[in-house]
Amino acid sequence: MKGVYGYIRVSSADQNEARQRLALREKGVAPGCIYADRRSGKDFEREGYQKLVRRLRPGDLLYIASIDRLGRNYQEVQEQWRLLTKEKGVDICVMDMPLLDTRQGRDLMGTFIADLVLQILSFVAQSERENIKKRQAEGIAAARARGQRLGRPPKPLSENFEVVRGQWQAGQLTATAAAKCCGMPLTSFLNRAAGAGE
Phi, psi of 74 (to 5 degrees): -50, -55
What is the DSSP annotation of 123-137?
HHHHHHHHHHHHHHH
Give the active site residues. 11
The contacts of residue 186 (CB under 8 Å, 6+ apart) are 175, 176, 179
Q: Cα–Cα distance between 118 and 18 in angstroms, integer?
A: 25
Q: Given 3-state DSSP classes, what are the helix, strand and coil percentages for the chain, each rounded to the nearest 5? A: 55, 10, 35
Q: Cα–Cα distance between 161 and 14 in angstroms, integer?
A: 37
Q: Is 167 exposed, middle or buried (0-12, 13-18, 19+ CB in 10 A)?
A: middle
Q: What sign does the CA torsion over 90, 48, 63, 26 have?
A: positive
Q: Cα–Cα distance between 33 and 55 in angstroms, integer?
A: 10
CB count in 10 Å sphere of residue 55: 12
